Amino acid sequence: MDLNRPASPLQNKATNRKALAATAIATALLLSACGGGAAPQGAEQAAAADPASGANASGAVNICGVKDASGIYKGTAEAFTKANGKVTAKYTEIGATTDEARTQIVQRLEGKSTECDLFLTDVIWTSEFASQGWLLDQTKLVEANKDRLIPSTVETTKYQDKYWASPFFTNAGLIYYQKDKVAKPETWQQLYAEAAKAPGDGYVYQGKQYEGLTVNFLEMLYSAGGEVLNDQGEVKIDSKETREVLNFMSDGLKNGSADRAVLTYNEDPARLAYESGDFGYQRNWPHVYRLLNATPLASSFGVAPLPAWEGGKASGVLGGWNLAISAHSTNQAGAVAFIDFATTPEWQKHVAMDYSQAPVNEAAYSDAAVLQKMPFATELLASVKGAKPRPISPVYPQISQAIYKNVYAVLSGTTSTEDAVKKMADEITTAKASF
């Protein structure tokens, strides 16, 4: 069980489900089942959102999610209400952190609450929520809007060949580098070699034992040609690519390319360490650009897409937030209208200009007004387009824990690469068998 996330019906019923998973009939039953009272429809029987319904929508629509630190959620609701005229939208905060918001969302969905028409969902929640029959099938709506959406962002909403949410804004890692100290990195190998040249050239990233370490590891694994699950959902992490990446990251801590303090860093400590001026490279998210520009480093740093693995190609890991329609919404048409507005090319420009978030519309990245506010938009687009989703599975939280726990064990020197790879594969296999 993921220590950072509350238990869900999927996890609570893991023991019983192992016994049922032996037959295809049992598997089908599991996909349509959910704990607590009468079972709702599963993903295969979910109702679908009607793309045409938004045109005639009226009434009120309520969007629920995490604390609105940047103002983007409330700002979008207000702009939609002003532009639409027939539908009023409001944003309701139901959690101070991502995990708290997820707990509150699950409680409402399990309880068939009609309070929220739309939920802001982390890209890693799609499979779990869809498998429980909690969301409307947005396949037709996403396909109707597909020409305005970056393909990689659409993939974060997919489960069992259907789309269960619409991308709102995305995220992909970037490399910040000190132009007077180190070169713009083209490969991970070059970055680490440059970082090792002098004490002040080192690399900082998110190496704490949490989801951020999973992302940092997968960015390298994907670029090296490795994978966690293949297209058939089979566990493929026990591979030479996994061993190469783990050894590479471990060696980087031993030879001074990366500072050992990264083992305690999540996003903000990594940023603050870099702001000290004592490092050459930092891996972090796009929002850091604005914060760095308010420091003495403002004129000295550059921004680059994530580098490629030597002999391979660059591949980031997508973050971001999607808009999912509750299966219990009392204004599904209003929800569709809100999604149509939030994903328009015009509003997606505001996502970048006003809120420093990464748009899901490609045209926004070349807009002159966006480039003025976000000069690194070209680099960011390259990272977004080359990025891949994290493993798609209803038990993703357990998969992630298996990854970051064992990667951390190698980096901290408490286990060998070989033992970590075997344990990682076994734990992911066990997690998948629990569903």
Asked if residue 137 lies in contact with residue 165, where contact means CB atoms within 8 angstroms, the answer is no
| Tens digit of each residue's pLDDT (9 = 90 or more) over 38-64 | 334 567 778 999 999 999 999 999 999
Out of 128-132, 162-166, 250-254, 287-291, least confident range: 287-291
Q: Provide the domain count of the chain.
A: 2
Q: Does residue 18 fall inside a structural domain?
A: yes
Residue with tokens 């037959």: 23
Q: Does residue 3 fall inside a structural domain?
A: no
Are 71 and 83 members of one domain? yes
Calpha distance 175→231 (Å, rounded): 29
Whole-prediction pTM: 0.81
Are 303 and 273 members of one domain? yes
Are 92 and 16 members of one domain? yes
Host domain of residue 245 = 174-317+395-433
Q: Does residue 27 fall inside a structural domain?
A: yes
Are 153 and 102 members of one domain? yes
Q: Does residue 1 fall inside a structural domain?
A: no
Are 295 and 344 members of one domain? no
Q: Does residue 422 fall inside a structural domain?
A: yes
Calpha distance 133→173 (Å, rounded): 32
Q: Does residue 250 fall inside a structural domain?
A: yes
Average pLDDT over residues 320-346: 98
Calpha distance 264→328 (Å, rounded): 41
- pLDDT-derived band at 356 (thresholds 50, 70, 90) equals confident
| Tens digit of each residue's pLDDT (9 = 90 or more) over 204-225 | 999 999 999 999 999 999 999 9
| Tens digit of each residue's pLDDT (9 = 90 or more) over 361-382 | 999 999 999 999 999 999 999 8
Are 167 and 190 members of one domain? no
- pLDDT-derived band at 16 (thresholds 50, 70, 90) equals very low
pLDDT value at residue 42? 67
Structure tokens at 144: 């109707």
Out of 15-24, 89-98, 272-281, least confident range: 15-24
Which residues are registered as beta bridge partners of 323? 120, 166
Are 230 and 295 members of one domain? yes
Are 309 and 222 members of one domain? yes
Last residue of a domain, one of 366, 386, 406: 386
Are 110 and 79 members of one domain? yes
pLDDT value at residue 344? 97
- What CATH number is attached to the domain comprising 118? 3.40.190.10
Last residue of a domain, one of 369, 386, 403: 386
CA atoms within 13 A on the CB side of 208: 11
| Tens digit of each residue's pLDDT (9 = 90 or more) over 250-308 | 999 999 999 999 999 999 999 999 999 999 999 999 889 989 999 999 999 999 999 99
